């Protein structure tokens, strides 16, 4: 069963047509994407999905504009200024992947006070006036340790690779990993590095910390770092641990090669970068007058040993395993949350 079928299992027919009411009510509305970072394959896939889906929506007359903006330095102050510019430019809604869950709250409140709808996703904000779309990132982290407990029941040493420091997603996944270690105390985290969700950064960070570590039997990750970790461990001529992957094509390709060569087993998990398109449609629905709960949760996308080949075949070279959302998908998510 595909990820989309799991998400929409209770939907008998996915309506591809755009309702006339949406065309009438939001055709003059402008939506902007405020993104804090574009330096890895997940963010690039997220932006590509946004451009593809929103471009079609603009062409169809659903909204007047859906412009994307990315800050240069991944600084909350820079993104706050970006949001303030969007207020001045007259956008009706801002879809936000935030550099910080709290540092942008002032700018977000300014937008809300100006009558602008703010929908945060992935990197969400805590300002009450905003909407939030996220997966259960803590569970995403905890489930990695649970998987390792079944594959390696005797436990052992783990290396943790974290994401961008100070970002909500990084904190939540790491908290979940540590909850998992408490639940399965046969495991011990003996090292932790920041890989910034990028293979090259992760490879350098892991290579730098390996000489100080005892042998590790597992590597818990956040996505975009598994392949880099594997390269660093192989270069150090250490036994290859079970590395949890993050749905990137290079990770899945390496996993497939190892699986074919020696039966290597692991799992892979991440949020689908196309969640940006869900956030777009949620913003459009709010502008269309729909009642939407402030907090929406979507499933994370997990790949296991038995569906690796299928997911790899469907993942673009250099990309990330993905799902893009339709308006019908967004309506389903909104309705299921009520």
> What's the pLDDT at 74?
84
Backbone CA torsion sign across 60, 62, 63, 67: negative
DSSP annotation of 245 reads B
pLDDT at 333 over 50: yes
Q: In CATH, which superfamily holds the domain spanning 137-270?
A: Response regulator (3.40.50.2300)
Q: How confident is the model at residue 196 (pLDDT cuts 50, 70, 90)?
A: very high
Residue 77, classified by CB atoms within 10 Å of its CB into exposed (0-12), middle (13-18) or buried (19+), is: middle
Q: How many CA atoms lie within 13 A of 335 on its CB side?
A: 10
What pLDDT, in 10s, does the model give residues 17-76? Answer: 344 344 448 999 999 999 998 988 999 999 999 999 999 999 999 999 999 999 988 899
162: enclosing H helix or E strand: strand 156-162
pLDDT value of residue 20: 38
> Which is nearest to 118 in space by CA: 86, 152, 150, 155?
86
Please give the Cα distance from 250 to 42 (Å, whole number).
12
Does residue 206 surpass a pLDDT of 50? yes
pLDDT at 13 over 80: no
Which pLDDT value is given to residue 209?
98
pLDDT for residue 39: 86
Average pLDDT over residues 251-275: 97
Q: Looking at residue 185, what is its pLDDT?
A: 98
Residue 56 CB neighbours (<10 A): 13
CATH number for domain 23-135+272-300+322-336, candidates 3.40.50.2020, 3.30.1330.100, 2.130.10.10, 3.40.50.2300: 3.40.50.2300
Phi/psi of residue 245, each to 5°?
Answer: -95, 175
pLDDT over 60 at 213, yes or no = yes
Question: Quick check: 173 pLDDT over 70?
Answer: yes
Reported pTM: 0.83
Residue 93 has pLDDT above 50, yes or no: yes
Q: Any idea what the Cα angle at residue 83 is, between residues 132 and 113, rounded to 5°?
A: 70
Portion of the chain with pLDDT greater than 70, in percent? 93
Confidence bin at 338 (pLDDT 50/70/90): confident
Segment 302-330 shows an average pLDDT of 95
Helices (H), 60-198: 76-88, 105-113, 137-151, 168-183
* Extents of the domains making up the chain: 23-135+272-300+322-336, 137-270
| Residue 323 confidence (pLDDT) above 90 | yes
Max Cα distance, the chain (Å): 63
Q: 137-141, 144-148, 310-314, 316-320: which has the minimum mean pLDDT?
A: 316-320
pLDDT digits (tens, 9 = 90+) for 249-259: 999 999 999 99
Q: What is the mean pLDDT of the chain?
A: 92
In DSSP notation, 271-329 reads --TTHHHHHHHHHHHHHTT----SEEE---EEE-GGGHHHHHHTS-TTSB------HHH
């Amino acid at each position: 069963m595909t990820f989309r079928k799991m998400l929409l299992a209770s939907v008998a027919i996915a309506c591809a047509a755009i309702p006339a009411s949406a065309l009438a009510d939001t055709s003059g509305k402008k939506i902007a994407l405020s993104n804090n970072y574009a330096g890895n394959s997940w963010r690039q896939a997220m932006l590509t999905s946004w451009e593809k889906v929103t471009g079609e929506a603009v062409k169809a007359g659903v909204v007047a504009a859906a412009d994307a903006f990315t800050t240069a330095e991944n600084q909350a102050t820079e993104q706050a200024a970006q949001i303030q510019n969007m207020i001045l430019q007259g956008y009706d809604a801002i879809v936000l992947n935030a550099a910080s869950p709290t540092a942008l709250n002032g700018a977000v409140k300014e937008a809300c006070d100006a009558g602008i709808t703010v929908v945060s996703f992935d990197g969400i904000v805590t300002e009450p006036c905003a909407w939030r779309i996220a997966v259960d990132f803590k569970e995403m982290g905890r489930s990695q340790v649970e998987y390792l407990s079944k594959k390696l029941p005797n436990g052992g040493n783990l290396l943790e690779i974290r994401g961008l420091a100070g970002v909500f997603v990084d904190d939540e996944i790491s908290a979940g990993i540590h909850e998992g270690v408490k639940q399965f105390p046969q495991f011990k985290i003996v090292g932790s590095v920041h890989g910034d969700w990028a293979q090259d950064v992760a490879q350098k960070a892991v290579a730098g910390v390996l000489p100080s570590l005892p042998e590790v039997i597992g590597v818990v990750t956040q996505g975009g770092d598994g392949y880099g970790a594997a390269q660093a461990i192989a270069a150090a001529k250490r036994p290859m641990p079970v590395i949890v992957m993050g749905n990137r094509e290079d990770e899945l390709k390496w996993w497939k090669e190892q699986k074919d060569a020696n039966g290597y087993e692991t799992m892979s998990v991440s949020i689908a970068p196309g969640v940006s398109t869900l956030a777009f449609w949620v913003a459009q629905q709010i502008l269309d007058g729909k009642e939407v709960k402030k907090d929406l949760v979507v499933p994370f996308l997990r790949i296991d040993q038995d569906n690796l080949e299928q997911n790899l075949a469907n993942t673009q070279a250099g990309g990330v395993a993905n799902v893009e959302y339709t308006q019908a998908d967004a309506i389903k998510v909104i309705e299921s949350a009520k």
